Amino acid sequence: MTKRRAEITGWGKYVPEKILTNDDLAKMVDTNDEWITSRTGIKERRIRSESDTTTSMAAAASLDALGVAGLQPSDLDLIIVANSSPDYLLPSPANYLQHSLGATCPAFTIAAGCSGFVYSLVTAHQFIETGAYKNVLVVGVELVSYALDYTDRSTCILFGDAAAAVVLQPSTNGAGVISFELGSDGSQAHHLWVPGGGTVNPVSQKVVDNREHYIRMNGQEVFKFAVRKLTTSLNNITAAAGMTVGDLDVIIPHQANLRIIEFAARTLDMPMDKFFVNVHKYGNTSAASIPLALVEAIQEGRLKSGDVTGMVAFGSGLSWAGAVVKMGEAISNPVGIPAGAAITA
C-alpha cells in the first residue's frame, strides 16, 4: 500500500508595505548599515502598519494559499497557526483567523517561536497521514516588531513582520513530507526570551521601567546553537529519508542571520547556491521565516515538481525542527488562481 503523505498544494504570503532599512535604524539606535550587514546580512525588514494585525496578515496569506489550491475556507478540515505574537493573550490567534476566513473547522495555535511553522507542518502531516483530515491550512505569522526594544541594537536590527501559509492535502504519489525531526532544549530557554509579562513576572510598572516586556537574546549562545542544529538536523532528516544533504535540490534554512547559513554551508561542504536566502529583504520573521522563504522559492521557480527540499528552523525554547519535503505536481501546475491574487471568502 502506498503511504499517504501531506503534499503542499497551495501557498501564499503577506508582508507589510512599510520597509525599515538599516539607515532608518541608524537614526534610532547606535548602529549603521555596514555594521548590520557585515554581522547579519540583513539590509531591510518589513514592519507592520497600524492596520496590520496578526489576524489580518494571516488571513491575507491564507486566502492566497487557498486560491492556489482551488479551495474555499469552507473546505478546510483544520487550521494550524504557528505564532508567538497573538492579537490577544486569549483566545488563540487560530480562532480569530478561522472566523476571519469564514471557516468552520477546528483551529489551534502552536507557539514554538521560529521553529513553529515546521512544528505545525509536521503536526498537520500526522492528521493527513492517519486519514483524519484532508484539507489542512498551516500558517506562520509574526508581528515581532511589537516586542522589540528599539534602544537595544542586539535585537531590534534582526527582526521583521510577515505571514505565509500553505495548504496541505493527502498524496499517494510520493510527494509530501518524507521525514522530520523535532527538538527542544529547555535548559537554554533564557538565551532567547521575554522575561516580563507572564505569570512568573506579571506586567507591572517595574517590568515596564526595566524594559522586561521586550525580547532579550544572548546572541553568541543562540548563534552557536543555531549553527549546530542547522547542520546536524539537516544530516538527521536526510538520513531518515534515505538520502544525503547533497541529494536535496534546495535547502530552506530559517532566515535568522546570513552568517549562520554561510557557516553551515561551509560545515556541510555545500555551495551557497544550494540554500534559498531572503534574509536580506525581511530579516528574521520568526514563525513566518520558513514558509515565507518556501513561498518565494516556489514563486521564483527555485522549487519545481519532483524537487526535494530540506527545511530546518531553530529558535526560542531553545527549539529546532526540520523536515524533508518532496514537491508534487501542484507546484508546477496549481489548480487554482495564481499566488498573489485574491479570492472571496
Answer for the pair 169, 9: CB distance below 8 angstroms, yes or no: yes
The distance from CA 31 to its chain's CA centroid, rounded to whole angstroms, is 27
- Cβ-in-10-Å burial (0-12, 13-18, 19+) of 70 comes to middle
Cβ atoms 276, 251 nearer than 8 A: yes
User: And the C-alpha cell for 22?
Assistant: 538599516
Question: Which has the closest alpha carbon to 233: 286, 180, 188, 187?
Answer: 180
What is the maximum alpha-carbon separation in the chain? 62
Handedness of CA 243, 120, 12, 57 (dihedral sign): negative
Integer angstrom CA distances of residue 93 from 24, 53, 304: 31, 10, 32
Cα distances from 337 to residues 70, 72, 85, 168, 299, in angstroms, run 7, 12, 30, 16, 13
Measured in whole angstroms, how far is the alpha carbon of residue 300 from the centre of its chain? Answer: 18
Q: Cell 538520513 maps to which residue?
A: 239
Q: 22, 135, 254, 257: which is the annotated catalytic residue?
A: 254
Q: For residues 194 and 132, is the Cβ–Cβ distance under 8 A?
A: no
Identify whether 271 is preceded by a cis peptide bond (ω within 30 of 0). Answer: no
Residue 254 annotated to the active site: yes
User: 83, 95, 114, 156: which one is catalytic?
Assistant: 114
The three three-digit cell numbers of residue 47, written as one number: 514592519
Catalytic residue among 22, 135, 236, 284: 284
191 is catalytic: no
Which residue type occupies 257? N
- What's the one-letter identity of residue 277? V
- For the question of residue 105 being annotated catalytic, the response is no
Q: Alpha-carbon distance 82 to 86, whole Å?
A: 10
| Calpha distance 164→178 (Å, rounded) | 21
Residues annotated catalytic, as ranges: 114, 254, 284
